Amino acid sequence: MEKLVINGGTRLKGEVTISGAKNAAVAILPATLLLNGVYTISNVPNISDVKITCDILQDLGAKINWITPNELTIDTRDIDGKEAPLDKTSKFRASYYLIGSMLGRSGQIEVGLPGGCNLGARPIDQHIKGFELLGAKVDVGQGKISAKAKKLVGTSIYLDVVSVGATINIMLASVLAEGTTTIDNAAKEPHIVDVANFLNTMGADIRGAGTDVIKINGVKELKHEGSYSVVPDQIEAGTFMLAAIATKGDILIKNCISEHLDCITAKILEIGGDVEDFGDSIRVSINKRPTKANIKTLPYPGFPTDMQPQMGVVLSIADGVSVINESIWESRFQYTNELINMGAHITAQGKTAVFEGVKELYGAPVYASDLRAGAALLIAGILAKGTTELYNIDHIDRGYEKIEEKFRSLGANITRVTEE
Ligand code: EPZ
C-alpha cells in the first residue's frame, strides 16, 4: 500500500502546469466509438481513471497506442465487443458513458454498474430516462445495465436534476438518432462543452452546450475521425488556487482557462486573497490569514462541489466561523473527520458543515475517502505543523496526474512511500 508522507509548514511558491480535464477525457475517449476511425487525442491526463477507460475500450476491440504520456491514438474500426465487465466498470463512475456511445454505435451494450467516489447515493435514473425517451430498452440488475435499441429517435428530454453525466450520456446517444433531441435543464460544466466540441469535430450537430438547453440534430453518420486536445482541468486548477491560499503562498497556474475559474476567483478575493488573471494562466497569492466565508456548492457556474473539500481546508484555518452547504452530494464531508484529527474545529451534519477557524493545523495520519478529499488532505498536510501521513492515495491518483511532483515543484516536502 502507498502513502504520502508530508512534512508541513511550507508556503507553496512557483509555477504549475495544469493537465487535461479528467471529466472530459473519460467521456471523449468512449465518444470515438461513435465512428469507426483512428483518432489522436492530446492533453490527456495520465491518471488511473483514464487508464481504466482505455482498458475497457480495448476489451471492446479498440486499439490504443500512447504516443507520449499525454497523447494517444485510438483505433475504433474493429469494435466487436458488446459488454464491459463489472470488475472494471465498477472501478469508476464514467464507465456509464459506454452506454450512450455504444447505443449510438450499435444499439446494444451491457455494462457493469459504475462505481466512483463514495459521496452517498449516485443514481443514474436521469441517464436511463434519457435513453428510454430516445427509444432504448434499459434493464438494470445483477450488477449490470443492459441497453438495446433498434432505432433511436430524437425527442425532448427535461432533466429532473442538473446532471453532468446524464447530459453527456444523452448527447452521446442522440448524435446519430433520427431527428432532433433537446436536453432541457442541462448541466453547463466546461467538460460538457468540451465533449460537445469533440463530437462536433466528428461531424455531429450539437448546439447550446454550456447553456441549460442543448439541441442535438441527429445526423445519418459522423464523418470525421481526427485529432483533438482535451480542455484544461478546471478542478485541478482550482485545487492549486486554493493550495496557494491555504499555505499563504504564491502560485502561477499555467495552461488553464481562467473564465472557468470565476467562482473560485470570486471566493478567493472575498476571503482576502489576490488573483492576477492572464487568461490562459492565473496567479494566486495571499500574505495574511484568510477571512471566513460561506459556501453553497452548485452546478456550474456556481461553486463546484469538486472544490468543496479543498475550500474546507482553507476555512479550517480562516479567521472566523464559516459554513459550507453541500447541495449536490449526500455525503461529502467525510474529510472533516480527518481535519479534526489535525486540530480543526468543524461540526458537520448532513449537507452542512460549520468551520470555526483555528490558527494552526498539526500533522497526523489521515485517510482519503475520495478523490477531492485526498487532494484537500494533501494541502492540509502541507500547511500543517509537523508530519502528516496520507493513506488511500489511490483515490488521488484516479484524478490528479503526478500530484506529489507538482506540489514538490512548488516547495512541498512530500514523499510517496510504499508500505508492505
Ligand atoms: C460528475 O459526476 C463528476 N464526475 C463528479 O466529479 C462531480 O462531482 C459531478 O459531476 C458534479 O459536478 C465525472 O464527471 C466523472 P451528476 P456525475 O450526474 O455525472 C444527481 C470528481 O471528483 N443525479 O452531475 O455522477 C446526483 O445524485 C467527481 O471528479 C440524479 O439524481 O454527477 C447528484 O446529486 C466526483 N440522477 C446530482 O444529480 C441521475 O441520473 C449531480 O450529479 C444523475 C445524477
Distance (Å) from CA 415 to ligand 1 centroid: 32
CA distances from 169 to 96, 101, 165 (A): 8, 8, 6
Count of positions (residues) in the chain: 420
Q: Read off the pLDDT band of 86 (50, 70, 90).
A: low
Output the pLDDT for position 117. 74
Structure-model confidence comparison of residues 6 and 123, the more confident one: 6
Q: pLDDT tens across 236-273, in order?
A: 999 999 999 999 999 999 999 999 999 999 999 999 99
Q: Whose CA is nearest to atom 5 of ligand 1?
A: 306
pLDDT over 70, % of the chain = 100
For residue range 91-133, what is the model confidence (pLDDT) as tens digits? Answer: 777 889 999 999 999 999 998 888 777 787 788 999 999 999 9
Atom of ligand 1 nearest to the CA of 370: 22
Expressed in angstroms and rounded, the spacing between residue 10 Cα and the centre of ligand 1 is: 34
What residue owns the CA closest to ligand 1's atom 19? 165
Distance (angstroms) between ligand 1 centre and the Cα of 94 equals 10
Residue 84 has pLDDT above 90, yes or no: no
Does residue 191 register a pLDDT over 90?
Answer: yes
Pocket probe for ligand 1: among 157, 236, 328, the residue whose CB has the most ligand atoms within 8 Å is 328
Rounded to the nearest angstrom, the distance between the alpha carbon of 371 and the centre of ligand 1 is: 13
Assess whether 256 carries a catalytic annotation.
no
Residue 419 — pLDDT band, cuts 50, 70, 90?
A: confident
Reduced 3-state DSSP string for the chain:
CEEEEEECCCCCEEEEECCECHHHHHHHHHHHHHCCCEEEEECCCCCHHHHHHHHHHHHCCCEEEEEECCEEEEECCCCCCCEECHHHHCCCHHHHHHHHHHHHHCCEEEEECCCCCCCCCCCCHHHHHHHHHCCCEEEEECCEEEEECCCCECCEEECCCCCHHHHHHHHHHHCCCECEEEEECCCCCHHHHHHHHHHHHCCCCEECECECEEEEECCCCCCCCEEEECCECHHHHHHHHHHHHHCCCEEEEECCCHHHHHHHHHHHHHCCCEEEECCCEEEEECCCCCECCEEEECCCCCECHHHHHHHHHHHHCCECEEEEECCCCCCCCHHHHHHHHCCCEEEEECCEEEEECCCCCECCEEECCCHHHHHHHHHHHHHCECEEEEECCHHHHHHCCCHHHHHHCCCCEEEEEECC
Range 316-332 average pLDDT = 97
Give the model's confidence band at 33: pLDDT under 50 very low, under 70 low, under 90 confident, else very high. Answer: very high
Q: Is 163 near ligand 1, meaning CB less than 6 Å away?
A: yes
Distance, in Å, from the CA atom of 187 to the CA atom of 211, rounded to the nearest integer, reads: 7
Say if ligand 1 is within 6 A of residue 351 CB: no
- Enumerate the β-bridge partners of residue 348: 353
Alpha carbon nearest to ligand 1 atom 39, residue: 124
- Per-residue pLDDT tens over the stretch 166-189: 999 999 999 999 999 999 999 999
- pLDDT per residue over 371-380, tens digit each? 999 999 999 9
Q: Residues 283-300: pLDDT tens digits?
A: 999 999 999 999 999 999
pTM assigned to the model: 0.97
Mean pLDDT of the chain: 96
